[in-house]
Amino acid sequence: MTLLYATHARVHLGNIRDNLRAIRAAVGPERMVLIAVKANGYGHGAVAVSRMAEATGTAEWLGVATVPEGIELREAGLRLPILKLGPTFPAEMAAAVTAGITLAICSREEADAAAEAARAAGRPVSVHLKVDTGMGRVGVMQEEAPALALHLSALPGVELGGVFTHLPVSDAADPAFTREQISRFRAVAADVQEAAGRKLLVHGANSGAVLGHEPAWLDMVRPGIMIYGFRPDPATPDTIPLKPGMSLLTRVSFLKRVPAGTSIGYGRTWVAPRDTFIATIPAGYADGFNRLFSNRGRVLIGGRSYPLVGRVCMDQSMVDLGEETDVAVGDEVVLMGRSGDAEIRCEEWAEKLGTITYEVTCQVNPRVTRVYDPY
């Protein structure tokens, strides 16, 4: 593959597959696995990750946030069930029904709109009832859930297949709230199934719960960030071995020696304290290489760590190589990943940027080519 832009993300599909197999080994073969591939697979590539999961049998469901995300998977030939995890506007439902996307239902009005979309499309719509048991974001309140399940079961063209919730602090060190929330959800799920008059697919375990709350595993688990190689929080138990799903790479595009006193970059925020070599790399904040790395980030070249100097630009950044160097134009530069025995992990980025690994990988811009390792 010829790269027309040196800055690229190498997606380690074999590592993601291994993470999924480790999850399966932990939760057991009796449970289904839904993988979150929303936001372009957390930046890794939703279609490629989904195809790998379908081909290797490491997941039974796919989870998306928007109707276009689900349609993209269907147009790519994915046959696995797809659950849209949040509410759907009435204007979006016809396209969702046509694509065979399972809808999360949070209200009676949404249920009625889904039934109307199914009638108009001339085909049934699959739905899961979403219950708010403590997230406070979306979902029917738990005391109202059985009545909504009864209503859904009576609607023509609507097939109620599951009930689920979301856990806001399953990754926290204190397990008390999550344990109580799981207990409440198990109770309301039983009431919902009684109202529906049949067994439903019950699920609530996100990555934090997969790692630290076995009672939440139920009929299906929904790992997100962990399939891409990261625990959701440093406080989350390290109970399943995980491998990173992405490396971010570029190459040296320009090299020059500058005398002491030379300023580098916008705002002249760094001045060379000695004669030194400066390497320019074609990676900047438009690629997801955050501007907050200005004068405080680092890269790896030939297994050695070098500091970023000056402000990270939209499309380029500068690196201080020191007074002597054997680095040359065209050499590989690791922004995130391994170079020899050295490594820059996504967690390091997140700590320096004051954010979480989810945001780091999601912000890798679409112009950064994804190169997929075989699996």
| H or E segment to which residue 59 belongs | none
Question: Is the pLDDT at 1 greater than 80, yes or no?
Answer: no
Could you report the per-residue pLDDT of 71-86, keeping only the tens digit for each? 999 999 999 999 999 9
Could you report the per-residue pLDDT of 177-209, keeping only the tens digit for each? 999 999 999 999 999 999 999 999 999 999 999
375 assigned to active site = no
Whether residue 130 contacts residue 138, with contact meaning beta carbons closer than 8 Å, is answered with: yes
What pLDDT is stored for residue 41 in this prediction? Answer: 98
Q: 38, 130, 306, 372: which one is catalytic?
A: 38
Class level of CATH domain 246-344:
mainly beta
**Domain map (residue ranges) of the chain:** 13-228, 246-344
Could you report the per-residue pLDDT of 49-64, keeping only the tens digit for each? 999 999 999 999 999 9
Write the DSSP assignment of 121-155 as a string of letters: HTS-EEEEEEEESS--SSSEEGGGHHHHHHHHHHS
What pLDDT is stored for residue 331 in this prediction? Answer: 98
266 phi/psi in degrees, rounded to 5: -55, 140
Whether residue 188 contacts residue 155, with contact meaning beta carbons closer than 8 Å, is answered with: no
pTM: 0.96
Helix, strand or coil for residue 83?
strand
CATH superfamily of 13-228: Alanine racemase (3.20.20.10)
Question: Is the pLDDT at 2 greater than 90, yes or no?
Answer: no
42 assigned to active site = no
What is the residue-averaged pLDDT of the chain? 98
Question: Is the pLDDT at 169 greater than 90, yes or no?
Answer: yes
Question: What whole-number distance in Å separates Cα of residue 336 and Cα of residue 326?
Answer: 21
Whether residue 129 contacts residue 173, with contact meaning beta carbons closer than 8 Å, is answered with: no
- Residue linked to tokens 């299906």: 220
3-state secondary structure string across 245-313: CEEEEEECCEEEEECCCCEECHHHCEECCCCEEEEEECCCHHHCCCHHHCCCCEEEECCEEEEEECCCC
Could you report the per-residue pLDDT of 12-71, keeping only the tens digit for each? 999 999 999 999 999 999 999 999 999 999 999 999 999 999 999 999 999 999 999 999
Q: 5, 243, 266, 352: which one is catalytic?
A: 266
Same topology for domains 13-228 and 246-344, yes or no? no
Question: What whole-number distance in Å separates Cα of residue 224 and Cα of residue 206?
Answer: 7
